[in-house]
């Protein structure tokens, strides 16, 4: 497992490599400059490590504004050009409502309720439990 770090608000944001997937866990709110730096760091990590998937866990983020929504969509678009898929995991209901109210559709982004389900969507079957893969409840 390789670890890279992006500096967001002075604190490092780990960009972890799990096989052919990058896992990024965001904690707290991101401001414009930090979100842009994170975008650049993730895209460079994709190119350098040649992964096929990116999971961005935003369960620790309480506020997503239009800029951060656009940055997430840009990460997905850049990843797609580099032959990787992006899944955003752990979106809070308030964040989803805000994104819809802002009219942001986030093209190219898949979503999952948890990081475990996001890894399953990307074909990481070892993220499943011993009983077999878990399915999202609807």
> Do 95 and 64 contact (CB within 8 A), yes or no?
yes
DSSP per residue, 49-118? HT-SEEEEEEEE-----HHHHHHHHHHHHHHHHTT-EEEEE---HHHHHHHHHTT---TTEEEESSHHHH
Residue 18 pLDDT more than 70?
A: yes
Mean pLDDT of 54-75: 91
> Do 127 and 119 contact (CB within 8 A), yes or no?
yes
**What is the set of domains in the chain, with CATH numbers?**
3-127 (3.30.750.24)
What's this model's pTM, rounded to 2 decimal places?
A: 0.81
Residue 6's pLDDT is 52
Residue 105: band (very low, low, confident or very high) from pLDDT cuts 50, 70, 90: confident
Residue 125 pLDDT more than 60?
A: no
Cα separation, 94 vs 77, in Å, equals: 24
């Amino acid at each position: 497992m390789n670890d890279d770090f992006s500096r967001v608000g002075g604190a490092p944001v780990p960009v972890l490599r799990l096989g052919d997937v990058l896992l990024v866990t965001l904690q707290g709110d991101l401001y414009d400059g930090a979100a842009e730096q994170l975008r650049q760091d993730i895209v460079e990590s994709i190119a350098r490590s040649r992964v096929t998937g990116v999971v961005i866990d935003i369960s620790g983020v309480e506020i997503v504004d239009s800029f951060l929504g656009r940055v997430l969509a840009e990460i997905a678009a850049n990843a797609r050009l580099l032959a990787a898929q992006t899944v955003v995991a752990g979106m809070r209901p308030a964040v989803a409502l805000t994104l819809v109210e802002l009219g942001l559709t986030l093209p190219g982004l898949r979503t999952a309720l948890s990081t475990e389900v996001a890894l399953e969507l990307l074909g990481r079957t070892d993220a499943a439990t011993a009983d077999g893969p878990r399915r999202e409840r609807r």
